[in-house]
Amino acid sequence: MAIEPGLTPTLRTGVNDGSLTEPFFIMSDDNKYNEDDKNPKKGGEFKVPPRTWVVWIAIFGAIILLMVMRDRWESPGTLINQFRFQQLVESNQIAQATLNYNPQDPYLTEIIGKYYKVDASGARISGKDGDQTEPFRAKVRLTSRLERKILSGQYPQFEVKEPNTMLLSLVWSILPFAAIAAFIWFFFIRQIKMAGKGALSFGKSKARLLAKERNKTTFKDVAGIDEAIEEVSELVEFLKDPKKFQRLGGRIPKGILMVGPPGTGKTLLAKAIAGEADAAFFSISGSDFVEMFVGVGASRVRDMFEQARKNTPCLIFIDEIDAVGRSRGHGLGGGNDEREQTLNALLVEMDGFDTQEGIIIIAATNRPDVLDPALLRPGRFDRQIMVNLPDVRGREAILKVHAKNVKLAPSVDLSVIARGTPGYSGAELANLLNEAALLAASTNKKAVSMEELEEARDKVRWGRERRSLAMTDEDKKFTAWHEAGHALVNVLLQHTHPLHKVTIIPRGQALGSTMSLPKTDVLSRRRKEMLDLIAMTMAGRIAEEIISGDISSGAAGDIQQATNMARAMVTQWGMSDRIGMIQYGDDDEYVFLGREVSRAKVYSESTAQEIDAEVKRIIDEAYKTAKDLITNNLDKLELIAKSLLEYESLDGTQVEEIVRTGKFTPPPPTPQVDAPHGAPAGTPLPEIPVKPAPPKLPGLGNPAPAGGLA
């Protein structure tokens, strides 16, 4: 597999894989699945805050505690049963008692009172204040005879008390409704209010006001996009001192559109503007306007601008504006769908009949070609700022910004890493430093060295090494010859980029790879460079066929990318003398992105045949060039393949030495460091006796050695 910088290999099958073609980022299937293994949020899941659960647990706990302690908190006294109570009544030992009829239970009567203490002979025990008494309470069923005697006055020490049951009945009648109302309030209305999803707030804006004291990002934290920083810093200066510009008739720009590839720092630049500007800063995503109900997005746009008018001058940052600003009347959907209504409201608020100055829109997108032309005109977005991939100086500055929190070894030279990472975005460079720090920490190093940075660079761009992949010796042999063919032709051709590394260690989706890095940033492609690159891409299949006498599906990626390069040369870049400088088709346009529903063919069948014939001619000539070079240097090809089988990876300088001299100098072996020896002890320690070897069990041989793939 031959890998060019700034490109990502496509998914393929087989032993080896192919060269890269166009300078576009292609996401493989594994990246799609691995990317979103972070903590996924279940949409629509109902969650109750922990505080609510604590309140309900406390309420139920208090009720249970009251029920348990009720009997203990009732009138003090000894609890007696009905038999004991009748004995006290018949022996005339009741000093005083009160009868409380229970309205909930007509058979039981609660009696609270006092009885006289008696000794063993039955005589009352006297004290200083007269006869001693003991409080008691009882819940008994009065017999009809005893109840008649009490009510007729034969026992004057008893009195009847009429209970007040109105309050208790009121509580019992209201309590169920109160409990249901409390349940609904806690679990529904309160949650809806806390989540901001009430019926009255459905059309409210989701824009968040960013507090300046919480945002610590400034222009010092942004690097590699100096021209973009200069343009937006002028905006910040206008907000701080508007009279400086208004003296000459200048007015504040109404909108700024930041355009660039993913990971170049558009959102970071917006945060820096918020940190530098002395104005209110609202942030929202384009997807926050999109709802399934027509009119909700437009209502949110109007509410957002209503909030902004109360805080003028202010900034509104809309991230991924292409989610709501796509061209109207194209693609799927009619003119009355939710997205177009939202876009109409946005257009009117930005520059309509009743527009007020002082609200500046800052938007970011990586798809400006699908935006509506009415949104891009001056008066709405006065400026379009290109945030491109950083050059070598920008990459070094970005690495220095992100390296502030990484402990680097003194030998680390970030300029070397910057020169070796052409086509990397700011996000990839930040990820590179993070991966290097993780690699150093996993090996218990005290600082990050160049070794970890080099490995992290390869890991970020080409994937992690898969040393655990089980490969047969035959697969390794074919992979070594395949990659040796790429490496040999890469060094022999004049217009290819310098070879960086060739390896047969599986990495990412590839079973082997040949990596080349340009000396400078690649700003354009030349014809001779493309022809040599196609020839180098074909070399893997040729070398594999020479050694095996057969061909495999391992070169599927090589064939695919060589075809893409040749077709781009013919149909887009005008590099074919036969076809001429005419662009045939618009292959970069994607379907269903706000344009045509289907892709139209803009050339005839005869022209298509000529294009196919020219593409085949370019590939056949490149194939012949690569085959001639390999045939004339079979000894060097064999030496590169055998070295790969022995050492698994070769640097570009080692391959160049083989091609130039026909000899290979093995890399120096890793020095074996002996264990440190201390000074001889003053008192020699006694020798530890050697343990006898365990007896060999019958029927069991020596243990198998721990082996791995060669």
Please confirm, yes or no, whether 227 is among the known catalytic residues: no
Query: Could you give the count of Cα atoms lying within 13 Å of 279 in the half-sphere of its Cβ?
Result: 29
C-beta of residue 468 within 8 angstroms of C-beta of residue 492: no
C-beta of residue 590 within 8 angstroms of C-beta of residue 584: no
C-beta of residue 513 within 8 angstroms of C-beta of residue 1: yes
Catalytic entry in 483, 544, 545, 614: 483
Write the CB contacts of 234 (distance below 8 Å, at least 6 apart in sequence): none
> What six digits make up the tokens of 237?
């200066």
Q: Where are the alpha helices (DSSP H) in 443-548?
A: 450-462, 473-492, 527-548
Which of these, 309, 315, 306, 311, lies nearest to 238 by C-alpha position?
315
Write the CB contacts of 117 (distance below 8 Å, at least 6 apart in sequence): 124, 125, 131, 132, 133, 134
- DSSP secondary structure string for all residues of 599-640: PPP-S-HHHHHHHHHHHHHHHHHHHHHHHHHHHHTHHHHHHH
**H-helix or E-strand containing 57?**
helix 50-73
Strands 208-209 and 280-285: antiparallel
C-alpha 344/C-alpha 495 separation (Å) is: 52
Taking the CB of residue 527, how many other CB atoms lie within 10 A of it?
Answer: 13
Query: Which single residue is written with the structure tokens 């709802």?
Result: 291
Taking the CB of residue 49, how many other CB atoms lie within 10 A of it?
Answer: 11
Strands 499-503 and 649-651: antiparallel
Q: What is the DSSP letter of 286?
A: G
Q: At what angle do helices 426-442 and 450-462 cross, to 10 degrees?
A: 130
> What six digits make up the tokens of 182?
């409390």
Phi, psi of 86 (to 5 degrees): -65, -35
Query: Which single residue is written with the structure tokens 């662009």?
Result: 583
> What six digits make up the tokens of 277?
């500007």
Is residue 201 exposed (0-12), middle (13-18) or buried (19+ Cβ within 10 Å)?
A: middle
Query: Could you give the count of Cα atoms lying within 13 Å of 306 in the half-sphere of its Cβ?
Result: 11
> What six digits make up the tokens of 593?
């992105």
Alpha carbon 138 to its chain's center = 69
Beta-sheet strands, E only, within 298-411: 314-319, 359-365, 383-386
Instruction: Report, as residue numbers or ranges, the catalytic residues.
Output: 483
